[in-house]
Every structure is written in C-alpha cells, then in structure tokens.
Structure 1
Amino acid sequence: MRLNRKWMLLTVLILSFALLTGCSTTGKIDPESGLWDRYLVYPLSQLLDYFYDLFGTYGVSILIVTFLVRLLILPLSIKQQRSMQEMQVIQPKIQKLRTKYKKDQQKQQQEMMKLYKEHNVNPMSGCLPMVVQIPIFIAFYQAIQFDPQIAKSTFLYLQLGKPDPYLIFPLLAAFTTYIQMIAQGSANTSQTRILIWIMPIMIFIIGYNLPSALALYWVYGNIFTILQYMIFSRKKVGKAAA
C-alpha cells in the first residue's frame, strides 16, 4: 500500500514534468487571465522581482522564495516526518500482519488500519507535502518562463531561463534528492530502496531539459528539507535522552 502510493506520486511527478517540458513559453503573466495566474503565477513572479530589486540577483531571490515556500508547507513536512518515523517503528508489526493474512487481503487491510489508528499514523500524510509542491513548482516554472527579466538573467555561469550547459545543478539536484530520501529513511524497507535510485535519476533527466532556475530551486528546496530533517531528528534524540 505504501509502495503503491510512492509509485503513484512518482507517476504524477513524471506527468507534471512532461507537461512542463511541453509548455509554451510565449506570452506574459496576466493576473486577470484566471485564478491560476492571479493567485499563484503572478504572486510568485512579483516575489521574485521584489527580492531581485533588494539583492540584485535572482539567485538570491530564488533562495528566499524557496525558503518562504518551504516555510509555508513546514507543518505538513513535520507531520510527514513524524508519520514516516512512526511507520518505521511499526514496520515489524506490519510485516507480521502481511505474513499472517497473506491469503486474505481484506482482513490484512483491516488489521493494518487498526494498527495505524492505534499508533496515530496516517499513511497518506507522507504524500501531502509533495502534492502541495507540484502546483507551486509548475507556477514557479511559468513565472520564470513568462517573465523576460528572470529568463534572461544570469547567476554564476547560468542563464536562468535556459538549461544548465554543464549539468552541474541537475547533478546537484539529483544528489540532494538522494540525500534527502536517505535522511527520510526511505532505505529502511526493501520496497522503497528502488525509489532511492529512480527518483534522483528522474530529477537529473528533467533538470537536463528545464530552465536552470528550476534546478536551482530544487537544490535549494532539498537542502532546506535535509536541514529540517537533521534538526528535527536531533531534537527527537535530545528528548529521548532526557
């Protein structure tokens, strides 16, 4: 069940990225053209421009906007981490239920739901941060593509509206995705170990084709998430020691 949800999320991500790579880059952001542009694309574009005016570089602007987005979904991320850690604790019990009710899938699901309820675990909570991030990521892409000032700007050696010519940031995005999944404990079950390799490879392939600003956004976001997990885990260890 948990593996199926992860594969479902991976499929949604692939379809979303396929949509991004096929999007037209013509036109401009019009806040009056619809709810999507008005409440997501236009505000993101304005935020990016605002912090660019303050700091003089979109590299820093993307960093700050990424931080604000991750701060916005932080409660969901913390809930996800707690749920994943609890899932790791009850994995032996889950395996026993799978073995015991191997021939009765309905009974197996019923017993698992009782186990989740007993330990206050919501299996779907792990999906929420990613589900929330998908529309934000698409809006971020459109904000970059439809704002000529962002698309033509440079940061380090990058032209933000074009793919990274040296593949450094797609590689960093893939590597930090791998580290993030390790930090989340995705390697603790044999079923999810496959995703540890598939997800970074997919991120690299997508980063190869999309504007470098998105790879930069992904790297920033992954670093923020890794730090969040390190801090949260350290606090948990401190409480356990006390």
Structure 2
Amino acid sequence: MEKQSVFTPIKKYSFIGVILLIFLAGCQGNGNGESTGWFQHYLVETFSSIIKGTANFLGDNYGLSIILITLLVRLLIMPFMLKQMKKSAEMKKHMDVVKPDMDELKKKYSDKKDVDSQKKMQQEMMQLYQKHGINPLASLAGCLPLLIQMPILLGFYYAIRQTPEIATHSFLWFNLGQTDLLLTAIAVAIYFLQAKVSQINMAPEMKKQMAIMGYLSPIMIGIFSFNSPAALPLYWSVGGAFLIIQTIIAKKKYS
C-alpha cells in the first residue's frame, strides 16, 4: 500500500469542492448577500418553510423543530452513508490481503527512481489489483454519498440562518438567536467524540493520518458556534450525536 501523508484525505476529496462549486452555481447572490438562485428557492426556502411549519405544529417550539428535522434529514441520508462505509470496509479487507505483495513491490523498486522503472512498478501494481479483484477507481464511488448529502445539509444550514422567526424563540436554557457558550462546548465535545468513534478499528498508521482531521472538525465547529446563534450549535450537536450512533452501527456491522 502506498504511503500517504496526513493531507492525503484532503487531496483525495479535493475534487468534491469543485463539483460543489458547480452544483451551487445557482446560489447567485443579491445585494443583501443572500442567495437568489435555484439552490435558495428549492432547498433553503423549502427547509425554512418546513422549520416554521413543524414549529407551529409543535406549539411554536423552534428548538424541537430543528431537532426533529435534523434527525429526519440524517435518517434520510443514512442509507447512503452506510453504503459508503460498507464499501470502505470491503476495500480495506482487499487492501489488507494485497498489502504484503505491495510491500514487496515497493521494496523491489525502492532504489529505482527512473521514469521507466516507476512506470513498470505502476504496471505491476495494476496487475496485483487485477489479480485480487481490486478496482482502484472504486474508492471514488464512495464520494457519491458525500455529494448527495452536502447540498441537503447546506440547504438546512442556510435555512436556519435565514429564518428570522427562530431568533425570537428560546429552547431549554438558551435563546436560539443568541450565542450560548455551554451549547458551543457541547457541540465541540460531541464532534470530538465522533472523531474518536470513527477511528475505532483503524490501523495505527491510519489513526495518525486522521488525527489532524479529527481535531480540525470540532475546532471549526467551536469557532463557528462561538460566532453564531445557538440554533446552529443545536443543529450541529444533534447531527453529531446521530453520526456517533450511525458510526457505531456501521463499525459493528461491517468491521
């Protein structure tokens, strides 16, 4: 297996950002900094209406409305995420089998850095993949669930930000329209735990590679929550708790 740096996951999925930029090209801004494109119309405004309608049904409880819709959205995309995790687990099993041969191949060409030798090594590597029934491009299919869920989650995120009624209500101990430090700390703790849970059964080398990404997520959540109304860390906390449960289920099912 080829050696990877801590930035390999970022490079691997960097093309997703380009695709999302194309996908969200409909988010054309107006003078107020709000989107006026089809993303705004079909996702953001739809989610905003759902939030308000659900809150009215629940006795004008916008906090409970955000929790309920967050769980429903996560349940909706859960099959795609589980399918992605299953494919990742299957790929890991194949790579574990082929690893000794890959190590021998790298050792064979360790002192040969010329272009012809490197090309030949790549050819022999592809032959190994074919021998063990591994499709190197199959890992790209694992990006599809991410592409599916990102517009949905972004639409819900912006709907929370752009629904002014939310800011006029309270939930539990906090005002949904004001920053709450305790809820921010809860969101950070949940995403830190989620990062730890995602590393269960990972090889030591992979854990080291994912360490930075594991800390980056809760740090970013904390920064955004510290500068956002409490409705957003509430959304992140519920979503993060759901991800923990989803990851545990996947680990037990596909490990």
Q: Does the alignment reach a TM-score above 0.5?
A: yes
2:147 match: 131
State how 1:101-180 maps to structure 2 within 5 Å: 101-102=105-106, 103=109, 104=118, 106-107=122-123, 110-111=126-127, 114=130, 117-118=133-134, 122-166=138-182, 167-180=184-197
Distance 2:159 2:128 in 1: 43
State how 1:40-119 maps to structure 2 within 5 Å: 40-56=43-59, 57-102=61-106, 103=109, 104=118, 106-107=122-123, 110-111=126-127, 114=130, 117-118=133-134
**Change in CA separation of 1:201 and 1:27 when aligned onto 2, cut-off 3 Å:** closer
Alpha-carbon distance, 1:148 to partner? 0.9
2:114 match: none
1:20 match: none
Greater C-alpha radius of gyration: 2
The one-letter code sitting in structure 2 at the alignment partner of 1:70 is R
Write the deviation string for residues 79-104 of structure 1: whole angstroms up to 9, x where unpaired: 11112222332343454354334343
Instruction: Give 3-state SS (helix, strand or coil) of 1:210's partner.
Output: coil
TM-score normalised by length of structure 2? 0.69
Distance 1:228 1:168 in 2: 22
2:10 aligns with one of 1, 7, 11:
7
Distance 1:183 1:144 in 2: 33
Distance 1:197 1:168 in 2: 14
What is the percentage of aligned positions where both structures have the same residue? 29
Write the deviation string for residues 106-132 of structure 1: whole angstroms up to 9, x where unpaired: 337635753784489931244333333
Alpha-carbon distance, 1:12 to partner? 7.0
TM-score normalised by length of structure 1? 0.72
Alpha-carbon distance, 1:180 to partner? 4.2
2:215 match: 197
**Change in CA separation of 1:194 and 1:144 when aligned onto 2, cut-off 3 Å:** closer
Distance 1:233 1:89 in 2: 14
Distance 1:136 1:192 in 2: 25
2:231 match: 213
Aligned length: 226
**Change in CA separation of 1:6 and 1:58 when aligned onto 2, cut-off 3 Å:** farther
Query: RMSD across aligned C-alpha pairs, in angstroms?
Result: 3.8
The one-letter code sitting in structure 1 at the alignment partner of 2:166 is I
Write the deviation string for residues 132-162 of structure 1: whole angstroms up to 9, x where unpaired: 3332333223212221101332222333234
Structure 1 unmatched runs, 5+: 17-22, 238-242
Write the deviation string for residues 169-197 of structure 1: whole angstroms up to 9, x where unpaired: 33234334324423584867243344223
**Change in CA separation of 1:125 and 1:187 when aligned onto 2, cut-off 3 Å:** farther
Which has the higher mean CA deviation after the structures are superposed, 77-86 or 216-225? Answer: 216-225
